[in-house]
Structure 1
Amino acid sequence: MSLIIAIVLALGLDYWLGEPKRLHPLVGFGSLADGLEKWFNSVEGLPVKQRDTLLKCKGTLALILAIGPLSFAAYSLEHTLASNEALSPLFAAVVLYLAIGWRSLIQHAKAISAPLYEGDLITARVAVSHIVSRDTQDLNEQEIAKAATESVLENGADALFAALFWFIVAGVPGVVIYRLSNTLDAMWGYKNPRFLHFGWAAARFDDLLNFIPARLTALAYTLCGSINGQTQNAWRSWRQQAGTWKSPNAGPVMAAGAGAIGVELGGSALYHGQNQHRPPLGSGSAPMAASIDDACNLVHYSLALWLAVICLLAVMGAV
């Protein structure tokens, strides 16, 4: 029962308060990660032949130093408070609240769809630039909607469902490890000369932690596609298209999500001045402003499904 209480409290805090505007722990963690990266990510003095391997080792050590102490602290606090029936779920709820980004995701999405409905492409381009890494200054209405819809579907898994999964499986330490590793992947997981080898461990560890949650999210998206009569489309898209995507975890999530709301995503996109052609995801109409709202609703429906399953498992004594 304490698990359910903690989850409900965390979601309630996120819904009413959103992300902390000041003193968010992840901001401090980002500064720590920056310091570790500057300290460890150097090829000076490394033998040329072993340079790539040694950078991977240094990146792995930096990953352990960034995550290990904080995860141990989370475990220690959870263990210390375990016997306190009031403080234990409250502590867990606060940690989970800081790890999820449900309201923030929806707010960012609405800040894009609202100006799109009004035909205000300038405002929509600025808003979408806050949540995607592609070039946005010349995007048309359909391209803005596609970028935003993709982001909502993918980040629904990362910012909400994966955090819930690891909280259920491993409690406070689990959600702390997941959120910190996901943050490091966002900071170090780039395939560019600076991070290709140093960020290898962070990227692979995040892929590992997201493997099961991503597929559970895709399953929820598929089942909730029945609300729009798109379950078969979602399942077919997941089965046929997920493996074509560059990310092993984003592929199932985005393919199933696109199929569930009846749109086709993917296609060409401009990143850092270079056009990339990406495989199609989903099947249906071209994305428009309404597609962003449909993606947000799909996240809401999927969350309701997750909560129903969690409550059922709790009643059965499985969690």
Structure 2
Amino acid sequence: MIGVAIALGVCLDTLLGEPKRFHPLVGFGRLASRLEKRLNNQENTGLNRCSGIVAVCVMVMPFPWGIWLLIDSLRAQASLSNDICILVINAVVVYGAIGQKSLKEHILPIADALSSGDRELARRLTSRVVSRDPATMNIEVSATESALENGSDAIFGALFWAVLAGAPGAIVYRLVNTLDAMWGYKTDRFQTFGWCAARLDDALNYIPARLTALSYMLLAPQPSRAWRCWMQQAHLHASPNGGPVMSAGAGALGVQLGGPTCYHGHWVDKPFLGEGASPKAADIKRAIQLVTKTTGLWVVFIVMVDLLGLLLNGVPLSSALLGLLKC
């Protein structure tokens, strides 16, 4: 039952947070950096794009394949102990794939620093979670946007693919998302090499991003405002998935996000999203609260539907959704 495994994984993350030492994604990132240095010739050619595709396959495929073989071998010999092992594997992978507590630990201190009047500390803390130039960034906007966007990327995308494909699906999503964060920049270095990671991340996030936007809207004090912002502003954003998430999230909070932003010395004229005033420290905390409530909504919904499917038809949620996708 993937619903129970997801609930357990979220509970583990809430209680433990990210591992302070020996985090698997840290080791994965180091391997990815070494591979990129070997394969990326930094030339805007089709060959370098092929190198990026090979790099993604090499980095992503072995891990979920190994987990799938392990789970398949356990399923081949049906027993209560094997079922428990499968449940534990799925729960641990979900725990490793999401980062709700880590998001809080990175974002909330920014709001606290702003509330105490220490903007320099807030600026330093914000620069750790965004790639914007620290000297010119709007701290409140940057922190609020990071909370909303990472809610989709670091939590809900992984939960969605865990529902569809269990532990292997969550692993594929998280690894691709990590590679996109490392290689998915439109710079001279990554323009072609990072193309595959960026496009694959867009594909994997297409449905989760819109479900996230829908969740933000449903939990908003004024759902109609969040819906209006989503429908009218999402297409203005450069990212096909960031647009719905950011516009619906900004509308849900009743703040205005976006605007001119400097990345690595280059100014980007980002569209304004949402309605209302520019966010304050309290709005950063409200953004985290919205993400937390959305996580709860997803977990409750997944568990309830999974249990309902088992009670009525003996078909768990993941199998039912996979059947619909195949149709």
Q: How high is the TM-score relative to the length of structure 1? A: 0.93
Deviation of 1:250 after TM superposition, in Å, equals 0.7
1:31 matched to 2:24: no
Q: 1:74 aligns with which of 60, 67, 76?
A: 67
Task: Give, in angstroms, the shift of residue 106 of structure 1.
Answer: 1.0
Q: Bigger shift: 84-93 or 288-297?
A: 84-93
* Structure 2: distance between partners of 1:274 and 1:197: 20
Where does 1:1-319 land on structure 2 (aligned, <5 Å)?
Answer: 2-42=1-41, 52-82=45-75, 83=78, 84-139=82-137, 143-225=138-220, 228=221, 230-317=222-309, 318-319=316-317
Q: Distance in 2 between matches of 1:294 and 1:171?
A: 31
| Distance in 2 between residues matched to 1:152 and 1:168, nearest whole Å | 23
Match in the other structure for 2:322: none
- Identity, in percent, stands at 50
- Superposition deviation, residue 3 in structure 1: 1.7
> Gaps spanning 5+ residues in structure 2: where?
310-315, 318-327
TM-superposed deviation, 1:202: 0.6
The CA deviation at 1:131 is: 0.6
CA distance in 2, matches of 1:231, 1:295: 15
8 Å contact 1:78–1:172 — kept in the other structure? no
Q: What displacement does 1:12 show?
A: 1.3
Quick one: distance in 2 between partners of 1:35 and 1:9?
34
Structure 1's unaligned 5+ residue stretches are 45-50
How far apart are the structure 2 equivalents of 1:32 and 1:273? 28
Question: Using a 3 Å threshold, how does the CA distance of structure 1 residues 191 and 124 change in structure 2: closer, same or farther?
Answer: same
Conserved 8 A contact 2:42-2:193: no
Q: How far apart in 2 are the matches of 1:124 and 1:166?
A: 34
**Partner amino acid for 1:185?**
D
Query: Contact (CA 8 Å) 2:233, 2:243: kept in 1 or not?
Result: yes
Distance in 2, Cα, partners of 1:192 & 1:276: 13
TM-score, normalised to structure 2, is 0.91
What's the offset of the Cα at 1:43? 6.1
Cα distance in 2 for partners of 1:74, 1:259 equals 40
2:7, 2:303 within 8 Å by CA — same for their partners in 1?
Answer: no
Closer, same or farther: CA 234–201 of 1 in aligned 2, 3 Å: same
Does the aligned pair in 1 maintain the 2:261–2:267 contact within 8 Å?
yes
Whichever residue aligns with residue 98 of structure 2, its letter is: I
- The Cα shift of 1:273 comes to 2.3
Root mean square deviation, CA, Å: 1.4
Mean Cα displacement is larger for which, 279-288 or 203-212?
279-288
Q: What is the distance in 1 between the residues matched to 2:157 and 2:74?
A: 24
Query: Displacement, 1:23?
Result: 0.7
Q: Which amino acid aligns with 1:20?
A: P
Report the 3-state secondary structure (helix = DSSP H, G, I; strand = E; otherwise coil) of the residue aligned with 2:268.
strand
Higher relative contact order (CA 8 A, sep 6+): 2
**Where does residue 324 of structure 2 map in the other structure?**
none
Letter in 2 for 1:35: R
Q: CA deviation at 1:138?
A: 4.6
